[in-house]
Amino acid sequence: MTSTVRYRFADKMFNETTEWKCVQERDRKEIFEDVVFYLAKKEKEEAKDLRRRNMKQLRHILLTLKKLTCRTTWSECQQMLMDNHLFAEDEDLQNMDKEDALICFEDVIKEFDKEDKEKQDRKKTLEKRVFRKHRQRFVEMLDKLHEDGKLHFHVHVDGVVPHNKQQPHIHPHAGTTWLHPPRSLQVLCDQ
């Protein structure tokens, strides 16, 4: 018996039972309507629970897929899911609403995309920090050469600055090339 059963069908189904026969027709209809209302409410709750469970389970499976990245398409993901034994063994997941599955996939991909962006931002920040430290050491080296009298307006910088591969602050970085010298070198050249 489900909430979609009509009274006529229920009457035919339960016509032979003594419980059905001992209740008057008017009371039977009223009881039937109460039962249908209760069943509809129960089915709705079960559907919500199943949807919630499916979304949670699918999210867990998506997060465990090793090949899933922020650039994975929905069709590629569907193939990965078919190859996954947890998904293949769960009929409820396979029968879940496709829109719910797509929403879950989008949420996971957005999460991966956010993590990827944060990782790239951290990498850029670290690179900027390294370049800043190299520029600072380069400027300190130029200041020392200027204080020692080895660097002045008439001296070509290539002849004064040592070409040592052990000193990464000398190698071209943002702000350390001769085309884009640091401010202190420009001020020094202007003197």
Kindly give the confidence (pLDDT) of every residue in the chain, 191 residues in length, as a single tens digit, with 9 standing for 90 and above. Answer: 778 788 788 878 888 887 877 888 888 888 888 888 999 999 999 999 999 999 999 999 999 999 999 999 999 999 999 999 999 899 999 899 999 999 999 999 999 999 999 999 999 999 999 888 888 888 888 888 888 887 777 777 666 666 555 565 565 555 555 555 555 554 545 54
For 101, other C-beta atoms within 10 Å of its C-beta total 20
**Domain limits, the chain:** 1-49, 56-190
Q: Torsions phi, psi of 174, nearest 5?
A: -55, 120
pTM of the model: 0.63
What are the residue ranges of helices labelled H in the chain? 7-14, 18-21, 25-64, 74-83, 85-89, 91-94, 98-147, 157-160, 183-190
Q: Is 8 exposed, middle or buried (0-12, 13-18, 19+ CB in 10 A)?
A: exposed
